[in-house]
Structure 1
């Protein structure tokens, strides 16, 4: 597992040409509206701000200070709207600058708005992959790293899912057709495992679902388990 800063891409999403025998299986990027909801939590922020606006409205009505209260209420709404707009802009920029790549040997994440960084995640360092399918049609692919590999939460955010205190798993966030992407990853892992039959990779522990309505499946990245999916 490695991270590389770069200014030039010989192949979109990759810091260098692919070695002989390695091929791209899939490339894609987050859907920015879904990334805003999943990664930047704009709906939670909107609800949080709405509580403050409602409280301020009630305070204005009960106090009878209509002029002063109305000015403060308008200012509050303007500030909160600007914050939500900024979060959506950041989500759009993050999605636009991101490119996820699955090859026959690894997963590559090109992320970063101002300074692009490429994360190389070889199959040998991935213990398992969780596919999370959501009712809206988007989903995530959560990559569980082999111990003792770990990634700090803010190194990859919002392309990560928390798995512990300030620790996270690399995640292909808010992608369209996650079932298809998971199938391609599983097939790439199966072929790679068949070619590296002596390699033993520890499987990550299965963690509880994050929300009740998620459809979650797990791809085990190990020679004997690569083709198995578990709920």
Structure 2
């Protein structure tokens, strides 16, 4: 695994990559996190909304004990406004993170251009990836986490976050986080990592000599 922490000041010869592809290598897939799913999965938008809801109803109940329904309603409205502002900031951060990210799969490697403030280019040859684990949601979005093998350069979890497998801080695993059609991307990774041929449509059989074409 190699990194290029200074690539924010260098032009990209190829989108998402710090250098032009060598002969014989081609891009198979490129993508980025879904801002909405990144906010939900990595930034825990649902947990924050739930916490504000619990706090609002608890405060409303305490207010109702000594006040009126109108007073309790004002408390709920106040907390709802604060929650809305917090979630707007959260989704704004997720949108910025997603727009600054490019995930790339080539015939030889996995690459990640990440970082909104300080750009980091991370590259992993396919033969140095021990496993790629897929966590799939009902919407088809998912996270593909990579287990690097060997003694390559390792980054801390917080250097990678949110582009890392959750709850693996001791041995960080870079990840394609919250991407659409994650199962199809995982299948592409498996095919190119193992060298399995990509299925192609079968060619129509050649007609027999002297056969008359069907109308």
Q: TM-score range by the shorter chain?
A: 0.7 to 0.9
For residue 184 of structure 2, the aligned residue among 170, 174, 180 is 180
TM-score (norm 1): 0.75
Bigger Rg over Cα = 2
More strand by share: 1
2:91 aligned partner = 88
Shift of 1:22: 1.6
For residue 107 of structure 1, the aligned residue among 105, 110, 117 is 110
Shift of 1:177: 1.2
> Please, which runs of 5 or more residues in structure 2 have no aligned partner?
197-215
2:204 aligned partner = none
Answer whether contact 1:25 1:188 (CA < 8 A) is retained. no
Seen in structure 2, the aligned counterparts of structure 1 residues 85 and 34 have a Cα distance that, compared at 3 Å, is same
Answer whether contact 1:163 1:169 (CA < 8 A) is retained. no
Answer whether contact 2:146 2:174 (CA < 8 A) is retained. yes
RMSD between aligned residues: 2.3
Is 1:131 the counterpart of 2:134? The answer is yes
**Rounded Cα–Cα distance in structure 2 between residues aligned with 1:126 and 1:118:** 17
**Rounded Cα–Cα distance in structure 2 between residues aligned with 1:163 and 1:65:** 45
**Rounded Cα–Cα distance in structure 2 between residues aligned with 1:166 and 1:74:** 42
**Rounded Cα–Cα distance in structure 1 between residues aligned with 2:139 and 2:71:** 43
1:59 aligned partner = 62
Seen in structure 2, the aligned counterparts of structure 1 residues 85 and 63 have a Cα distance that, compared at 3 Å, is same
> Please, which runs of 5 or more residues in structure 1 have no aligned partner?
193-231
Is 1:168 the counterpart of 2:168? The answer is no
Seen in structure 2, the aligned counterparts of structure 1 residues 70 and 178 have a Cα distance that, compared at 3 Å, is closer
TM-score (norm 2): 0.80
Answer whether contact 2:29 2:105 (CA < 8 A) is retained. yes
Answer whether contact 2:156 2:169 (CA < 8 A) is retained. no
Shift of 1:114: 2.2
1:3 aligned partner = 3
**Rounded Cα–Cα distance in structure 2 between residues aligned with 1:43 and 1:148:** 38
